[in-house]
């Protein structure tokens, strides 16, 4: 059974905007998939549907065979903006991942147990921040904050990790570092991961597989080897498009 199965997904906003059109693909357990595409292609809509935050107009998503209807505690999400509580330490932020796992009501009634605390330290170790565990996240760099966000997602112990443009606000060096930590964390845990990126040059060394979306449709599905200059050109510009070197060097 595939870890993720997306069948004939369609999403429209109002009468005129078709954000996704007939999207179908399957993802195997432990695969690290990078979703590429220009701004407005539908990447964010796709991830929000996978996370149960948005309802598709048509089609279905299954995670480990179960159809997604609304938010699931076994799907974790890393967002573009560092979604950390700045007044709290890296450790405290990572611990809050246990709340997402428990569900709101239960999390209001329970304390963190020893397993949660170990999971938080283990996750911070995975993202290279164990020695900064007690540091306030407000005083951390953008890349470090994003790594704390990844640690929190790991503490949630998800079946699926989603990352919506996780490095869009970072400089290339920090972006590459964050992607590297995300990939090694996922590989260490055999965690199925889908990350959307608009920068091809940062994404290409990390994906096992790439899904290219343009105008709400899948226009590419392949490995890094398949992701030639022509393929990139097609994903970003379609036929008769502009110069793809601009995207590659962005
Ligand atoms: P991407 O993440 O690739 O930039 P999005 O999924 O954000 O693309 O957007 C896909 C299309 O859907 C765009 O045309 C966008 O303007 C439109 N869209 C996204 N969210 C909404 C919304 N809440 N209401 C109306 N249109 C939307």
Instruction: Point out which residues pair with 166 in neighbouring strands.
Output: none
Closest CA to 180 of 119, 123, 118, 128: 128
> What's the predicted TM-score (pTM) here?
0.91
Task: Round to whole Å and give the CA distance between 95 and 79.
Answer: 17
Looking at residue 68, the DSSP 8-state letter turns out to be P
Backbone angles phi, psi at 86, to 5 degrees: -65, -30
Residue with CA at minimum distance from ligand 1 atom 2: 44
Chain centre to alpha carbon of residue 228 = 23
Q: Do 99 and 118 meet the contact criterion of CB atoms below 8 Å apart?
A: no
Displacement of CA 204 from its chain's centroid (Å): 15
d(CA 229, CA 72): 38
- Say what the pLDDT of residue 250 is: 47
Pick out the chain residues at pLDDT < 50.
250
Are the C-beta atoms of residues 213 and 18 closer than 8 Å to each other? no
Predicted confidence at residue 240, as pLDDT, reads 54
Whether the CB of 45 sits within 6 Å of ligand 1: yes
Residue 42 CB less than 6 A away from ligand 1: yes
Pick the atom of ligand 1 nearest to 165's CA.
Answer: 2
Distance in Å, CA 11 to ligand 1 centroid: 10
| Nearest atom (ligand 1) to Cα of 46 | 6
């Amino acid at each position: 059974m595939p870890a993720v199965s997306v069948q004939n997904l369609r999403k429209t906003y109002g009468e005129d905007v078709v954000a996704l059109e007939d999207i179908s693909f399957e993802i195997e357990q432990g695969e690290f998939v990078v979703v590429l595409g220009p701004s407005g292609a539908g990447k964010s809509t796709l991830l929000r549907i996978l996370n149960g935050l948005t309802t598709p107009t048509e089609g279905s998503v299954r995670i480990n065979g179960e159809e997604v209807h609304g938010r699931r505690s076994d799907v974790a999400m890393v967002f573009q903006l560092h979604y950390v509580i700045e007044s709290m330490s890296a450790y405290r932020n990572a611990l809050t991942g246990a709340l997402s796992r428990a569900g709101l009501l239960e999390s209001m009634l329970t304390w963190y147990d020893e397993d949660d605390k170990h999971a938080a330290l283990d996750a911070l170790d995975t993202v290279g921040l164990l020695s900064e565990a007690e540091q306030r996240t407000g005083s951390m760099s953008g890349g470090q904050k994003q790594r704390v966000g990844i640690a929190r997602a790991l503490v949630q112990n998800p079946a699926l990790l989603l990352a919506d443009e996780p490095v869009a606000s970072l400089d290339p060096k920090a972006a590459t570092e964050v992607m590297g930590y995300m990939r090694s964390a996922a590989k260490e845990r055999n965690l199925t991961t889908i990350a959307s990126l608009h920068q091809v040059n940062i994404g290409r060394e990390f994906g096992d597989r790439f899904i290219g979306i343009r105008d709400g449709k899948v226009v590419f599905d392949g490995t890094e080897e398949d992701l030639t200059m022509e393929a990139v050109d097609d994903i970003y510009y379609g036929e008769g498009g502009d110069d793809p070197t601009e995207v590659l060097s962005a």
